[in-house]
Chain A
């Protein structure tokens, strides 16, 4: 069983489109994250949710909107995609009892 799963794994889309990336964790964790990894491999936190409540919201364009329908899911919706949004996006989850973060396999987004 996959602990943290993201879909899709690859996403190629044109500038200006709106797209969503889905994330689900079956670990029973209370906290979920979205990270962006740029071409230089730098991992930058974007959002963190705890029990469906937004905890961390780093400096991210408001075209990016996270949605957490329940504790096990944290989806990322991106409006009006730009070339600079091309990156790998990672979802992760974590809990107070087990403080390392568990990561999904990533979604490679390419905006053309």
Chain B
């Protein structure tokens, strides 16, 4: 079965600073990996996804993530954070069609002006 860990419960950065959110997964085969963002009181919006190919994937809102098989990681990055990026970020792993779609516990991002 898949599992996902996000080691950081809460991260605070200053506006304009760079950001990296960590995600580690456990899955026996090649995973499909995702990052979602949830703004307060909102649903989940997909930021980016990795299925295969280039291990560096670009997403919306200036985010990118890098898949590292050797480290079982899929860390999310942004070079310059904006105040509107303050939200809850979830890493998720999906396997084959119809099977479990598992989320990590989430990382709450706060942005200082």
Residues of A within 8 A of B (CB): 30-31, 33, 35, 40-43, 45, 48, 50, 55-56, 90, 92, 94-96, 99-106
Contact = CB atoms under 8 A, between A and B. Distances in A.
Interface of B: 32, 34, 36, 38, 42-44, 46, 49, 51, 88, 90, 92, 94, 97-103, 105-106, 108
A101 B90 CA distance: 13
A40 B16 CA distance: 28
Nearest to A37: B38
A contact face: mostly helix, strand, loop, or mixed = strand
Contacts of A56: 99-100
A105 B100 contact: no
B100 A45 contact: yes
A48 B43 contact: no
**Closest CB pairs A-B (n = 9):** A96-B97, A43-B103, A103-B44, A105-B43, A50-B98, A103-B43, A41-B106, A99-B32, A101-B101
Contacts of A96: 97-98
Given A55-B98, A94-B97, A95-B97, 16 more contacts: A42-B103, A43-B106, A45-B100, A48-B101, A90-B43, A90-B44, A94-B94, A94-B101, A99-B49, A99-B94, A99-B97, A101-B101, A102-B46, A103-B43, A106-B42, A106-B43
